Structure 1
Amino acid sequence: MAESHTKSGFWGILGFTKGTSNDGLLPSEAPGLGRLFLLALQQFIVMFPATVLVAILTGFHVSTTIFASGLATLSFLLVTRGQIPLYYGSSFSYIAAIVAITGGGHAGGYAPDHLIGQAQFGIMMSGLVSIFIGLLVNKLGFKRIEKFLPPTVTGPIAMIIGVSLMGTALSQASEGWIVSLVTLLATIVFSVTLKGVLGQLPILFGILVGYIVALITGQVDFSAVNQTAFFVSPHFTLPIPTWSAILAIMPIAVATIPESTAHLFQIDIYVNNLTKKRGVPEIRLSDKLGTNLVGDGIGDIVSAAFGGPAGTNYGENISTMAITRIFSVPVLIAAGVLAIIISFFGKFSALVNTIPTAVIGGLSVYLFGVIAVQGIGIIVEKKVDLFDNRSLAVISSILVIGIGGSFAFPNGMIPFFGMELPAIATAAIWGILLNAVLLLTKKDA
């Protein structure tokens, strides 16, 4: 049964309704103010480690990256009119291309401003690519585009994104097996057993339990908190136009489109599972693929304009939404605002950063696994015929290139005729091209 909603108060002014059900929240529903902060904090914490790691690897400033993540999220939600519940975080797909410009971390851990500026320009140009393709999708219609991005492409891409991160999860967990196992088991138990309001916060509770165990066992270091100033302004830099940055970074946007599409399909499946339980009309997020790509491109431009890395809608946040069934756009708005605020408070950022690697590792075992399972969910939901040789060819080769390339070569870069190709991006492009060729051999294409 669908419950009644009201559009009163602040969220009502923005067009959102007050959610009253304990089985989850749909994109247009807002929680009460008491839950809003905790749900937003949960979303912030799950994106924090990976987003910060991208900044560290590329030489970008951490506080600026956090600021850019929050602002880009708000920009994405504004451009998509609050219809698509996704959080924008730094993308791993761009790391190699950005490092080719910045050289990674330098003295003090950061790349020189002029190199960051050049990378910023390349990222902004890649954002224009996403916007152009998004507008093209809107013009041609989803059905035509789906021929080139079918579930046989988006499903396995989602799978390899999760699987390629599994080594990172176990590596982090190995930093402290007791802490990571406690965190993992606590998160699983909370997600399975807790109901109602508490059942919407299993990730946060799992982190807290792991953190307490880490405190007891002496694995939490507060020295950085003591040394960090209370108020620290993010280090903003300006884009510097260069052809080298355009050539290095701009093409990556094409390769990340299947990744972004897979994320949208993942969230579509879980949102509509909730609508079925509620007995309310289906919400067709997959029809908003073009709008999603435009929002993704705007996010890149906004992030890079202030000195942040390129990004995408974040798998960790999608997994959190899938586990908690909280797809509320107001929660994501609050998470974006929280990220911006925290970027100015050095001690708070430093405190969040005291969460031990083992805690994050235990949590990541669950979250990264869920990302991979969501890829399987796309294939199952779309009723892909796994006895069809065309489907088998596309899916199997994407999986081998993406997973094999991620683990067989350093940093997931496949050596190919003197070049180094990122495994996930290469698998995505291969899948699109192979699917297009096989379409020509299909009699009913």
Structure 2
Amino acid sequence: MTANGSKKEVFGYMPQDVPPMGAMISLGLQQVLTMFPATILVAILTKFDVGVTLLASGLGTIIALLVSQRKIPMYYGSSFSYITVVVTAMNLYGGGCFADPNTVYCAEGVRIVQVGIMATGVLNILVGLLIMKAGKEALDKVLPPIVTGSMAVVIGIALAGVALGNASTNWLIAFITLVATVVFSVYLQGKGLLGMLPILLGALVGYGVSAATGAIDFGTISSADWVRMPAITLPAFENPQAWGIVFSIALIAIATIPESTAHLYQMSLYIDALAAEMGREPLQIKKLIGLNLVADGVDDMVVGFLGGCAGTNYGENNSLMAITRNYSVPVLMTAGVIAILLGFLGKLAAVVNTIPTAVTGGLSIYLFGVIGMQGVALIQSEKVNLFEPRQLAVGATILILGIGGNLGLPNGIFPLNVPVLFPDGIPAIVFAAIVGILMNLLFVIVPPSLFGVKDRQNINL
């Protein structure tokens, strides 16, 4: 209530609210701008088609929102968590096109990876249904924070070689891009939409410097069609090599499941706070963990079928919703439609494909490091007791096998051939996950307390 007794007007949109058309389009465009830089960067790094990635992002988001019964406002973009294992698979089975610096789209490798992305969707759906049936506690025993957090560290740091390899093509441009991105991410916090776009702004700075030094060939842009059909491909179900990497790619859900759950809790808090101000009933979408993962899985099924990058719901878009107090599902569906339309713009894809490798390298140094630090943040926020030997054992083993194996072994693969599943050896990041999960299960099944061992106190300085 205001001082004169009148009711205070509260601005914002709840998930079921439908804003006026003008607001819906402008708010939807903001969502697209927020997801755009990171989503296309994943496509560039993995040599997926940019148009298909945008198309799949929009369509996957719309279908996921429908699957969640329009209760969970999330936007889905490309996930960085899958880059390591996707790059490994593309190098092995991409027919040499991935290693070619002049190739921006590797269709042969994409078709093989699509099978694994769809398998990730199946795994997410099964985990979601399990949580709906048995509760999240059962999942936490198999995937505790020490496992998921350590895997996030591995996923980020294991990509250091990719980031530095790209940056080495022109160190000056790479570091200008890096510094600009960091400056924008730090000093534009809380500055509205601009604060959500440090990657895009950093890329624009790097692109501008590259253009000024003659490092960009604009001929491909002028020759590109304004409208073109995205290079949609079907998964290579007939290829035995595709089935060989299914387990490798699907297992990365270890890192994305807790990330998605954290996003859900965050959104639930924001939405219920707005509901309280509006005098409405709280929605408590945090209780929909299982349904949220089912929606995640459906998104991966869609993008995997079309040939887009493996997806995840975006924390950047969640933050934008919190800033604008807009949680409208119709707005997110509008954003999905805009992303689909952008996927057909040939000029846009051509511009994206002219981004110099050094610029993506500068962006990657920052982004891949952030992924690793988020793993540290997860371990810290969950108050994992790192004074406890069993926690240290699980985390230490995952870090060395994952990071050391990826950087130190040929092609980042352990030479342990498993018929059907890993005929060419086990990717280091996958091997680290398997060993970490099994080691943790050992301590769950045979706890140290059976031998009279007492837990050490978790000292918080």
TM-score range, shorter chain: 0.7 to 0.9
How far the C-alpha of 1:176 sits from its partner, in A, is: 2.2
CA gap 1:387/1:3 in 2 versus in 1, 3 angstroms: farther
Counterpart of 1:45 (choices 37, 47, 64) is 37
Moved more, 240-249 or 266-275: 266-275
How far the C-alpha of 1:323 sits from its partner, in A, is: 11
1:293-349 Cα distance to aligned partner (Å, 9 max, x none): 32232123212333x1561327xx547877997697668656644442222111111
**Paired residue secondary structure (1:416):** coil
**Paired residue secondary structure (1:344):** coil
**Paired residue secondary structure (2:426):** strand
What does 1:79-98 correspond to in 2, within 5 Å? Answer: 79-80=67-68, 81=70, 83=72, 85=74, 87-89=76-78, 91-92=82-83, 93-94=85-86, 96=88
- Give the residue type in structure 2 aligned to 1:200: M
- 8 Å CA contact 1:319–1:371 kept in 2: the answer is no
- 8 Å CA contact 2:115–2:243 kept in 1: the answer is no
- Give the residue type in structure 1 aligned to 2:202: G
Match of 2:57 in 1: 69
Match of 1:423 in 2: 428
What does 1:327-346 correspond to in 2, within 5 Å? Answer: 336-346=336-346
How far the C-alpha of 1:357 sits from its partner, in A, is: 2.1
- 8 Å CA contact 1:131–1:295 kept in 2: the answer is yes
Counterpart of 1:442 (choices 439, 447, 450) is 447
Match of 1:377 in 2: 377
CA gap 1:416/1:66 in 2 versus in 1, 3 angstroms: same
Match of 1:190 in 2: 184
CA gap 1:408/1:135 in 2 versus in 1, 3 angstroms: same
- 8 Å CA contact 1:87–1:332 kept in 2: the answer is no
Counterpart of 1:179 (choices 173, 178, 181) is 173
How far the C-alpha of 1:283 sits from its partner, in A, is: 9.9
Matches of 2:377 and 2:131, distance apart in 1: 24
Matches of 2:104 and 2:11, distance apart in 1: 50
1:238-294 Cα distance to aligned partner (Å, 9 max, x none): 456548367424433551221212432564687699899999899988765433432
Match of 1:228 in 2: 224
What does 1:109-148 correspond to in 2, within 5 Å? Answer: 120=114, 123-125=117-119, 127-148=121-142
- 8 Å CA contact 1:121–1:245 kept in 2: the answer is no
- Give the residue type in structure 1 aligned to 2:157: V
Matches of 1:266 and 1:46, distance apart in 2: 19
How far the C-alpha of 1:156 sits from its partner, in A, is: 0.6
How far the C-alpha of 1:435 sits from its partner, in A, is: 0.6
Matches of 2:448 and 2:275, distance apart in 1: 39
- 8 Å CA contact 1:191–1:199 kept in 2: the answer is yes
Matches of 2:87 and 2:424, distance apart in 1: 16
Match of 1:5 in 2: 11
- Give the residue type in structure 1 aligned to 2:416: F
What does 1:297-336 correspond to in 2, within 5 Å? Answer: 297-306=297-306, 308=307, 311-313=310-312, 318=315, 336=336
Matches of 2:276 and 2:167, distance apart in 1: 41
CA gap 1:190/1:122 in 2 versus in 1, 3 angstroms: closer
Moved more, 34-43 or 292-301: 34-43
**Size of the alignment, in residue pairs?**
420
Counterpart of 2:200 (choices 201, 204, 223) is 204
How far the C-alpha of 1:362 sits from its partner, in A, is: 1.8
Matches of 1:276 and 1:212, distance apart in 2: 43
CA gap 1:121/1:269 in 2 versus in 1, 3 angstroms: closer
Matches of 2:125 and 2:74, distance apart in 1: 18
CA gap 1:432/1:286 in 2 versus in 1, 3 angstroms: farther
**Paired residue secondary structure (2:252):** helix
Greater radius of gyration (CA): 2
Matches of 1:109 and 1:213, distance apart in 2: 21
- 8 Å CA contact 1:184–1:362 kept in 2: the answer is yes
Match of 1:24 in 2: none
TM-score (norm 1): 0.78
1:137-192 Cα distance to aligned partner (Å, 9 max, x none): 22110012111111011111111111112222222222222222222222222222
What does 1:267-416 correspond to in 2, within 5 Å? Answer: 267=263, 288-306=288-306, 308=307, 311-313=310-312, 318=315, 336-416=336-416
- Give the residue type in structure 2 aligned to 1:425: V
Matches of 1:323 and 1:407, distance apart in 2: 36
How far the C-alpha of 1:202 sits from its partner, in A, is: 2.7
- Give the residue type in structure 2 aligned to 1:256: I
Matches of 2:438 and 2:17, distance apart in 1: 41
CA gap 1:333/1:215 in 2 versus in 1, 3 angstroms: farther
Moved more, 374-383 or 291-300: 291-300
Matches of 1:121 and 1:239, distance apart in 2: 5
- 8 Å CA contact 2:116–2:248 kept in 1: the answer is no
Matches of 1:47 and 1:353, distance apart in 2: 13
Match of 2:458 in 1: none
CA gap 1:121/1:387 in 2 versus in 1, 3 angstroms: closer
**Paired residue secondary structure (2:16):** coil
Matches of 1:175 and 1:47, distance apart in 2: 23
- Give the residue type in structure 1 aligned to 2:430: A
- 8 Å CA contact 2:401–2:431 kept in 1: the answer is yes
RMSD: 4.0
Matches of 1:292 and 1:277, distance apart in 2: 20
How far the C-alpha of 1:421 sits from its partner, in A, is: 0.9
1:336-371 Cα distance to aligned partner (Å, 9 max, x none): 444422221111111122222222222222221111
**Paired residue secondary structure (1:234):** coil
| 1:15 pairs with 2:16 | yes
CA gap 1:170/1:124 in 2 versus in 1, 3 angstroms: closer
- Give the residue type in structure 2 aligned to 1:48: I
- Give the residue type in structure 1 aligned to 2:362: G
- 8 Å CA contact 1:98–1:119 kept in 2: the answer is yes
Percent same amino acid at aligned positions?
36
How far the C-alpha of 1:15 sits from its partner, in A, is: 1.9
- 8 Å CA contact 2:116–2:247 kept in 1: the answer is no
| Structure 2 unaligned regions, length at least 5 | 1-7, 418-422, 451-461
- 8 Å CA contact 2:272–2:284 kept in 1: the answer is no
